[in-house]
Chain A
Amino acid sequence: DIQMTQSPSTLSASVGDRVTITCRASETIGDWLAWYQQKPRNAPRILIYKASTLESGVPSTFSGSVSGTEFTLTITNLQPDDSATYYCLQYNTYPYTFGQGTNLEIK
């Protein structure tokens, strides 16, 4: 199975900051990676798919990139509403696997 190692597990930042979250795949997955945002008591919401394609309706303050097997989610100009847990998902091969999650707190 492909392992997705996500870091950091927790992150604290201030309004207006820029933050990055990383997922590293245990083997090559091309650009078959998605990023999700999940708020308490809600289902995950798609932010980015195919490593860097922004889902319609998602603010352009979110962006994704890939270098080899390392994937990055960048959030610029942080807003209080960005407080959430973020997950990556590799969908190259079943069993699909998620990263462990990053809990982002806005100070």
Chain B
Amino acid sequence: EVLLVESGGGLVQPGGSLRLSCEASGFTFNAYAMNWVRQAPGKGLEWVSYISSTGNTIYYADSVKGRFTVSRDNGNNSVSLQMESLRDEDTAIYYCAREAKDSGGWYGWFDPWGRGALVTVSS
């Protein structure tokens, strides 16, 4: 079974830091790009970051660029999101999501997703 499990969420003060991790199992981790997507309470989905299968290509949403850093450890089947200078508006559930591929060679959408980790930025 393909499984993604996030950890590291919690309560942090504005300006603080937090590191999220996502452990993957059930698939060949180093063959897949990974993404982080977040959802503020009662709001829609927002893509946050992408990291390629090798880690050589990385993208960020403008809203987190310069504050968040994504990385991966293919030896340990994990991807991380280091979050610095956190703001109230970063409060959200953060989902780890695999870039999907199908048997026809198409790829790009997100599937599966983890259950998410709640990050609350508040004083």
> Using a Cβ–Cβ cut-off of 8 Å, how many residues does chain B contribute to the interface with A?
22
Partner of A46, one of B45, B111, B115: B111
User: For the complex, is A80 an interface residue (Cβ under 8 Å from B)?
Assistant: no
Whole-angstrom CA separation of A44 from B46 in the bound complex? 12
Q: In the complex, which residues of chain A have a beta carbon less than 8 angstroms from the beta carbon of B109?
A: 34, 46, 49, 89, 91
What is the total of A-B residue contacts with beta carbons within 8 Å? Answer: 57
Chain A's closest residue to B43 (CB) is: A101
- A55, B111: Cα distance in complex, Å: 10
Q: Do the beta carbons of A46 and B46 come within 8 Å of each other?
A: no
Give the shortest distance, in Å, between B87 (CB) and chain A (any CB): 19
Most B-side CB within 10 Å, residue of A43, A89, A97 = A43
Contact, CB under 8 Å: A89 / B102 = no
Rounded to whole angstroms, the CA-CA distance of A25 and B112 in the bound complex is: 24
Give A1-59 interface residues, CB cut-off 8 Å to B. 32, 34, 36, 38, 43-44, 46, 49-50, 53, 55
Whether B68 is near chain A, meaning CB under 8 Å from some CB there, is no
A98 within 8 A of B: yes
Q: Which residue of B lies closest to A6 (CB)?
A: B44
A87 at the interface (CB under 8 A from B): yes
Q: Residue B44 contacts which of A53, A96, A101 (CB distance < 8 angstroms)? A: A101
Within 8 A of A (CB), among B75-111: 95, 100, 102, 106, 108-111
5 shortest A-B CB distances, which residue pairs? A43-B113, A34-B109, A91-B108, A46-B111, A98-B45
Beyond A46-B112, A95-B61, A100-B44, 15 additional contacts (C-beta under 8 Å) are A32-B108, A34-B110, A44-B45, A44-B95, A44-B110, A46-B100, A46-B109, A49-B102, A50-B106, A53-B106, A87-B44, A89-B45, A94-B47, A98-B47, A101-B44
What would 7 A/B residue contacts be, using CB atoms closer than 8 Å?
Answer: A43-B114, A44-B45, A46-B100, A50-B106, A87-B44, A94-B47, A96-B50
